[in-house]
Amino acid sequence: MEQSNQFLGTEHIGKLMRKYAIPCIISLLVGALYNIVDQIFIANASYLGSYGNAANTVVFPLTVVALAIAVMIGDGCCAFVSISLGKGEMAHAKKSVGNAILMMIAGSLLLTAVYLLFQAQIIAMFGGTVNEETFYYAKEYFFYISLGIPFYMFGQAMNPIIRADGNPKFAMASTLMGAVANIILDPVFIFVFKWGMKGAAVATVIGQIITAILGVWYILHMRTIKPLLIDLKLDRKICGKTLLLGITSFLSQISLVAAMAAINNMLRKYGAMDEIFDQAQYAQIPMAVVGIVMKFFQIVISIVVGMAAGCIPIVGYNIGAGNKLRVKELFTKLLTAEALVGAAAFVLVEVFPHQLISIFGAANESSYYTEFAIKAFRVYLCMIIMACINKACFIFLQAMGKAAASTALSMLREVVFGVGFAILLPVFWGLNGVLYSMPVSDILTFIVAVILIARTYKELNAENSLHFREP
């Protein structure tokens, strides 16, 4: 018998947030750990050090491209399913899942082929030519990571779909098991087998395969929206609606890639003009350090996105069912929680930057490495509270079905501001300009986000008043 998701419209909001957000946060944190764990072990391997870290920074945006496609399909399907269940349209929900599986398989195989065919050109595009050692390590790491792309994308896409089916704990467990395997295998392959960048990549891919296998198992045992063979038949209308609902997630990630590409290239360009980092033995330091700062930021954003994305099924169901008052209450609780996460992160980057960078092999590097890292943490992330609220706003608007507003805000932050200021500010302030680009972008985006938040509250209040007056 098919289970009902009606509790999404009746259960206490706080309880629902804990039920859905906590597993989602853990899932995303674990996903973020894949890359950051690689970077920690690479940084502490004396034969890799900052060269390996810089290579990891070069390849990281390319994994985000894969993630962008995966979350577009997965989050879009999650939102479509939740809204469909709220309207009582089970058949549409099942078709969305079936079509999401087809799109994911096709998209992942195509991206893998592109990566393998144009490996050297892609690495160069993301700043990998900063010096010979970084380029060599980046090629080695990227080759093996590319082989794991289909498994990575499938696991990431299934995560929100599993949550939409009402089983956030399984979504968390499947990602956790893969990450644990990566954490165990990384030191074995890097320090015992001396496989270097290859070892870090292979450990990551093995973890991704485990998560993907668990995703396949869950498809065969879905409890609410288990698709039938007929649901695997391509339906252009369903695919279009699914992708439209997930386009914000895609643009949010892919525009981040554009920003990272701009930042990496500006670090390479203006680092070569710096009196310290123009020396060959130090040239990779700015890229390695900013990559580490971005990884810390990714951990914080994983918590932020986890809380917001965990609310997608709740928001979608209540929007579909017309329960606007519950949506308003959820929005208030979410914004408050996101601001608190940002405040905690702010304290860490401003008060404890030395301790943070020491985790990433600072003891094996020159003093220039530590000095630049401390400045990078304190400047680059000084507006992290606003960044957290901005990200929550993107996702919540998406969950409400406001794809246009959500997409516009996301693109404004990552492309117009993120890329624009990363290119413009270094013209005046060199390497420091790259660091200033992040807080300036977050401040300007926050101003726009506040306007959209106010309009959303006004809309929900108006609809609640109208509903109250209905006989």
- Digit-coded pLDDT (tens) for 343-371: 999 999 999 999 999 888 777 788 899 99
Which structure tokens are listed for 205?
Answer: 């891919």
Of 464 and 276, the one with more pLDDT = 276
CA distance 314 to 312: 5
CA distance 324 to 389: 21
Write the pLDDT tens digit of every residue in 93-138: 899 999 999 999 999 999 999 999 999 999 999 989 888 899 999 9
- How confident is residue 250, by pLDDT bands cut at 50, 70 and 90? confident
- How confident is residue 469, by pLDDT bands cut at 50, 70 and 90? very low
User: Does residue 387 fall inside a structural domain?
Assistant: yes
**pLDDT value of residue 79:** 83
**pLDDT value of residue 255:** 76
Report whether pLDDT(38) > 70: yes
Report whether pLDDT(465) > 70: no
The listed range with the strongest mean pLDDT (146-155, 327-336, 390-399) is 146-155
- Could you give the 3-state DSSP secondary structure of residue 323? coil
**pLDDT value of residue 459:** 86
User: Does residue 124 fall inside a structural domain?
Assistant: yes
**pLDDT value of residue 83:** 81
Write the pLDDT tens digit of every residue in 182-229: 999 999 999 999 999 999 999 999 999 999 999 999 999 888 888 888
**pLDDT value of residue 65:** 93
Could you give the number of structural domains in the chain?
1
What mean pLDDT comes out for the span 401-420?
A: 86
**pLDDT value of residue 43:** 84
Write the pLDDT tens digit of every residue in 366-407: 889 999 999 999 999 999 999 999 988 988 887 787 878 888
| CA-wise closest residue to 393 among 305, 321, 315, 318 | 305
Four-point Cα dihedral 399, 405, 407, 410, nearest 10: -100
Count of C-beta atoms within a 10 Å radius of residue 142: 25
Looking at the chain, the whole-number percentage of residues with pLDDT higher than 70 is: 96
**Which alpha helices (H) appear in 44-118, and where do they start and end?**
49-86, 90-117
CA distance 10 to 77: 23
User: Does residue 129 fall inside a structural domain?
Assistant: yes
**pLDDT value of residue 4:** 54
360 CB-near residues (< 8 Å, 6+ apart): 39, 40, 43, 44, 53, 292, 373
Q: Which residues of 72-98 are buried (b: 16+ CB within 10 A; e: fewer)?
A: bbbbbbbbbbbbbbbbebeebbbbbbb
Report whether pLDDT(450) > 60: yes
CA distance 357 to 283: 18
Domain range for 406: 12-469
What mean pLDDT comes out for the span 431-456?
A: 95
Q: Amino acid letter at 69?
A: I
Cβ-contact 319, 79 below 8 angstroms: no
CA atoms lying within 13 Å on the CB side of residue 71? 22
CA distance 74 to 79: 9
User: Does residue 4 fall inside a structural domain?
Assistant: no
Q: Give the Å distances, CA to CA, from 131 to 268, 281, 347.
A: 9, 9, 35
- Could you give the 3-state DSSP secondary structure of residue 152? helix
User: Does residue 207 fall inside a structural domain?
Assistant: yes
| CA-wise closest residue to 71 among 418, 306, 379, 297 | 306
User: Does residue 5 fall inside a structural domain?
Assistant: no
CA distance 399 to 403: 8
CA distance 64 to 301: 14
